[in-house]
Amino acid sequence: MYKQTGDSQILAELYQRYMDMVFAVCMKYLQDREPAKDAVMNIFEELLVKMKKHEVEHFKAWLYTVAKTHCLMQLRAAKKVRIQSLDGDLMQSAEEPHLNGVFEKETHLNQMTQCLEKLSPDQKMTVELFYLKEKSYKEIAGMTGLEWDKVRSLIQNGRRNLRICMEDKSV
């Protein structure tokens, strides 16, 4: 609908639904609250242009990729090239292989798996259906027999409990 009308309010309402996810992605990569907030706003500005050019079937997955790419590009632009002086000549040093990111992601994933297990059974089930299986509140309510408001509450509380657990470094 935004592509046909160009009404940014339509896109803003859609984006609002996924701002928490976009912020979480930005925090994951940028690891600083203020740059992550700035990135959330910059990504919306990118969407105003990109949504006119692309056919998007799965907005949430596409938006996740846009946010991730935005953050990675920001990190790449901020990375300074190290220059060393060697016998009066300037030489650019080779970038060190960066395996720490791979290990960090694996550690993060393991911690998230442990934290998921600590959620109540209903919170765990609804969080997994919503985030991993990409089901809507309505679909989850239909699958589980729970009220829509109860599903929403379980997901919000589960997400909060998951975040608290993830911030606890002893897990």
pLDDT in tens, 87-120: 444 444 444 445 556 667 777 778 888 898 999 9
What is the model's pLDDT at position 14? 87
| 4 band by pLDDT with thresholds 50, 70 and 90 | low
Counting the structural domains of the chain, the total is 2
pLDDT at 126: 92
* Distance of alpha carbon 43 from alpha carbon 133, whole angstroms: 24
Specify if 10 maps to a domain: yes
Same structural domain, 57 and 113: no
Quick one: CA dihedral 107, 113, 118, 123, positive or negative? positive
- Mean pLDDT confidence for 28-45: 92
User: What is the CATH number for 50?
Assistant: 1.10.1740.10
Amino acid in position 135: K
Among the candidates 17, 47, 78, a domain finishes at 78
Q: Domain check: are 63 and 112 in the same one?
A: no
- pLDDT higher than threshold 80 for residue 36: yes
Boundaries of domain holding 43: 2-78
